[in-house]
Structure 1
Amino acid sequence: MEIVIANKSHSHYATVICETIEDAAQVRGTGIAKRKPAYIISKMEKGNAVIALDGDKFAGFCYIESWDHGKFVANSGLIVHPNYRGKGLATKIKKVVFEHSRTKFPEAKVFSITTGLAVMKLNSDLGYKPVTFSELTSDQSFWKGCQTCKNYDVLTRTEQKMCLCTGMLFDPKKQQEQKETKKIKGKVFTRLKSIKQTLFLKKDKK
């Protein structure tokens, strides 16, 4: 199994990718936005997609979408072919496309919208935090992309405030702040521990 950054040479897989996404939506009965082959091909040509291949057989796929001039990025269209499900492939694809997103858009907030518990858990492991939709991009082209979802009427009736999906966000700035806070707390703890040990040693000498 090989997971690579997709390019123009993978364009012939676009049709089967779209068919697999549509079939999955029907089986799950959940809101998965439909995509056309031309759209998938455009992602491949720009290096904004990841594809999993078993030799020359399609196994899985996920692509990157950006909004607000690259301030927000999403990993969308995660799909695994039925023949390769239950083997942890979705997790591997998600990790690869997440790292690729961080490399191409290091300052961007990365978000994910899903109804799947498995994807929510995976997102959490990668550092995503659950957020309200108001914290996601306000770019109207994003919401337009939701129109092919069966649950789109919920968004229109609630003025884009509610959805059956769960929004999750990875904020690189907050992650860095948390790391710095942990470092400071760690240094303070080490310093206090050293002081306590010194005091105990002085007490024992007395």
Structure 2
Amino acid sequence: MEIEISSCEHLMYVSEIQQEMYDSAQRRGTGIAKRSIEYLSKKISEGNAVVATENGEWVGFCYIETWSHGKFVANSGLIVSPKFRNGGVATQIKHRVFQLSREKYPEAKVFGLTTGLAVMKINSDLGYKPVIYSELTQDEEFWSGCKNCVNYEILMKKERKNCLCTAMLFVPENITKNEAVNDQPKDKYDEISQTGLGYSAQNSPGEFHLAINKNKKNSDEKEGHLSV
């Protein structure tokens, strides 16, 4: 299987992709309805999409949209051909289109609206966090795209503050801040930490960690993990 940035060579698949996007939304009973052939063709020909293929067949697809003058980017229309589902293809495509978004728009916030638990998990692994709708783009054109969704009435009744979709957001500056914190030098030989651990300046770092482990009581410690 090949996962490539789209080009005019992939326009041959646009009709199948468009139809499967519509059919999938109908089966779920949620989500954005049919995108036009013209719209998807433009995304493909401009290199603003990722297309997976195998032996001449289309396998999966996802495209990029920009909003608020490039301040926000959305990875939209993620779809996998029924024949190739349940094999991890969606995860590979999502990772590649996310990478493409970061390459093209490194300063932009990347967001998504979805009802799919699998997509939420992928987003979470990429560094997205669940947010309220007010943290997303307020571009009217973006929200007008929800008009074809079966849940549009719910969205408007709630004054566009929430709906059945979960909003998730990746903020580049948060990654930079975390890296800066992690890069701060740490004092291995902090006197307070040494007290009560039987640590001396002659211990090696490995012996120091061993001393800590020996002084720990057996406990069942598990790290919490966000999975939405």
Aligned to 2:179: 179
Equivalenced residue count is 201
What SS class does the counterpart of residue 188 from structure 1 fall into?
coil
Unaligned stretches of 5+ residues in structure 2: 204-228
Aligned to 1:61: 61
Alignment of 1:1-206 (within 5 A): 1-184=1-184, 187-188=185-186, 190=188, 192=190, 196=194, 200-201=199-200
Compare 95-104 and 172-181 and name the one that shifted more. Answer: 172-181
Residues 196 and 43 from structure 1, CA distance in 2 versus in 1: closer, same or farther, beyond 3 angstroms? same
Please tell me the residue identity of whatever aligns with 1:147. Answer: K
Please tell me the residue identity of whatever aligns with 2:10. Answer: H
| Structure whose CA Rg is larger | 2
Q: Is the 8 A contact 1:65 1:76 kept in 2?
A: yes
How far residue 91 of structure 1 moved from its aligned partner, in angstroms, is 0.3
What SS class does the counterpart of residue 190 from structure 2 fall into?
helix
Point out the structure with the larger helix share.
1
Residues 194 and 37 from structure 1, CA distance in 2 versus in 1: closer, same or farther, beyond 3 angstroms? farther
How far residue 194 of structure 1 moved from its aligned partner, in angstroms, is 11
Residues 181 and 57 from structure 1, CA distance in 2 versus in 1: closer, same or farther, beyond 3 angstroms? same
Aligned to 2:219: none
Q: Is the 8 A contact 1:34 1:149 kept in 2?
A: no
Q: Is the 8 A contact 1:33 1:145 kept in 2?
A: no
Unaligned stretches of 5+ residues in structure 1: none
Residues 190 and 141 from structure 1, CA distance in 2 versus in 1: closer, same or farther, beyond 3 angstroms? farther
User: Which structure 1 residue ranges, 4+ long, deviate > 2 Å from structure 2?
Assistant: 187-197, 199-204
For normalisation by structure 1, the TM-score amounts to 0.91
Residues 19 and 202 from structure 1, CA distance in 2 versus in 1: closer, same or farther, beyond 3 angstroms? closer
How far residue 203 of structure 1 moved from its aligned partner, in angstroms, is 9.9
Residues 182 and 7 from structure 1, CA distance in 2 versus in 1: closer, same or farther, beyond 3 angstroms? same
* Paired-residue identity, %: 51
Residues 71 and 194 from structure 1, CA distance in 2 versus in 1: closer, same or farther, beyond 3 angstroms? same
Residues 194 and 66 from structure 1, CA distance in 2 versus in 1: closer, same or farther, beyond 3 angstroms? same
Please tell me the residue identity of whatever aligns with 1:134. Answer: S
Please tell me the residue identity of whatever aligns with 2:83. Answer: N
What SS class does the counterpart of residue 21 from structure 1 fall into?
helix
- Map Cα deviations across residues 35-94 of structure 1 (whole Å, 9 max, x no partner): 111110010121100001012101100000000111000000000000000110000000
Q: Is the 8 A contact 2:19 2:34 kept in 1?
A: no
Residues 45 and 194 from structure 1, CA distance in 2 versus in 1: closer, same or farther, beyond 3 angstroms? farther
Q: In 2, Cα distance between the equivalents of 1:193 and 1:21?
A: 61
How far residue 113 of structure 1 moved from its aligned partner, in angstroms, is 0.9
Please tell me the residue identity of whatever aligns with 1:150. Answer: V
For normalisation by structure 2, the TM-score amounts to 0.83
